[in-house]
Amino acid sequence: MATIIEFQDAVLGYGSKAILRGITFSIDTGDYFGLVGPNGAGKTTILRTILGTLRPLSGTVTAQGENGLPLRFGYVPQRDTIDYALPYTVEEVVMMGRYRQRGLFRRPGKEDREAVGRCLDHVAIADLAGLAFKELSGGQKQRVLIARALASEPDVLVLDEPTNGMDLSSRLAILELVHRLHRDDGLTVLLVSHLLEDVANYVSRLAIVERDFFKVGKVDEILTGQNLSTMYELPVDVRTIDGRKVILSGGGNGGR
């Protein structure tokens, strides 16, 4: 597996203000990589740097495909960053994933419509194509955004807090879908979340981030009570029940 994203002693932040220092890690093709940490810890800063919308203050960050070309990201944003004023149909939203391939002035054609149909089918929402995106449930919206990311034919699928604000069944369905895309399609996936269990039970490699605290490695190496206690500044234990990792905090009442 080749390294496609690499941080070397990077200092990340905004303007002249550094938020994270000494960040060194890499992501390889075919990885299922999780990035977790409390709200405000700097996950979005790392994410933006990976996506190329934020430059490191120092150090180096590279995001290059095996062919030497810049990586294509299929980005699934947090749902509340989207403007719901106009009633775009599901098909129109997914078509946006094809816009970069079309370039300026060119309208999407038959090939694009077929690609959109395939992506909708792939995430099992072909029947929603003509509906207004803004009227869908949270889980359905997330599937549409994943379909749009797939329509851009990405090298890496990047999901930012994909299960935020969802009920349990929708959350599991989305996580299973992403897992399937990784397993069956061999897609490199970067999953960002503050919901530790969501990430820990699916990814193969994990980075935990908090200001002045950054660890990266295989899930079993990183997901330890000691690391999590340091990150959250409270007693945290990690147990495995029926093969699933469960995070217990405080007096052992459970929860995240």
Partner 1 sequence: MGAAEIVRTIVQEFPLALYGSMLVGVICAFLGVYIVARRVVFLGAVMTQVSVMGIALTFLPFFPLPHTVGSLVVTLATVVIISRLLTGKKIPRDAVLGVVFVTSIAARILIMQKSPKVEVAEIENLLRGDILFVTPELFILMIVAFVVAMGAHLLLFKEFTYVSFDPETARTQGYNAVWWDTAFYLLAGVVISFATHMVGDIYVFGFLVVPPVAAMLLARKVTHIFIVSVLIGLLSAPVGLFLAFLFDLPSSPAIVGVASVVLGIAWIVNVARRR
Residues that bind partner 1 (CB under 8 A): 51-53, 73, 75, 77, 81-83, 85-89, 92-93, 96, 99-100, 102, 104-105, 107-108, 132, 148, 152, 158
Nearer to partner 1 by Cβ, of 16 and 53: the residue is: 53
Nearer to partner 1 by Cβ, of 135 and 221: the residue is: 135
Minimum distance, C-beta of residue 22 to partner 1, in the bound complex (Å):
25
Nearer to partner 1 by Cβ, of 89 and 229: the residue is: 89
Nearer to partner 1 by Cβ, of 86 and 241: the residue is: 86
Please tell me the distance from the alpha carbon of residue 117 to that of residue 129, in angstroms, as a whole number: 8
Please tell me the distance from the alpha carbon of residue 234 to that of residue 230, in angstroms, as a whole number: 7
Nearer to partner 1 by Cβ, of 141 and 182: the residue is: 141
Minimum distance, C-beta of residue 134 to partner 1, in the bound complex (Å):
10
Minimum distance, C-beta of residue 184 to partner 1, in the bound complex (Å):
24
Minimum distance, C-beta of residue 52 to partner 1, in the bound complex (Å):
7
- Within the chain, strands assigned E span 3-14, 17-28, 32-36, 58-63, 73-76, 156-160, 188-193, 205-210, 213-218, 236-241, 244-249
- 232 residue type, one letter: Y
Residue/partner pairs of 230-238 with CB below 8 Å, 24 or more apart: 231/37, 231/38, 231/41, 232/38
Minimum distance, C-beta of residue 51 to partner 1, in the bound complex (Å):
5
Please tell me the distance from the alpha carbon of residue 142 to that of residue 51, in angstroms, as a whole number: 19
DSSP helix/strand/coil, 127: helix
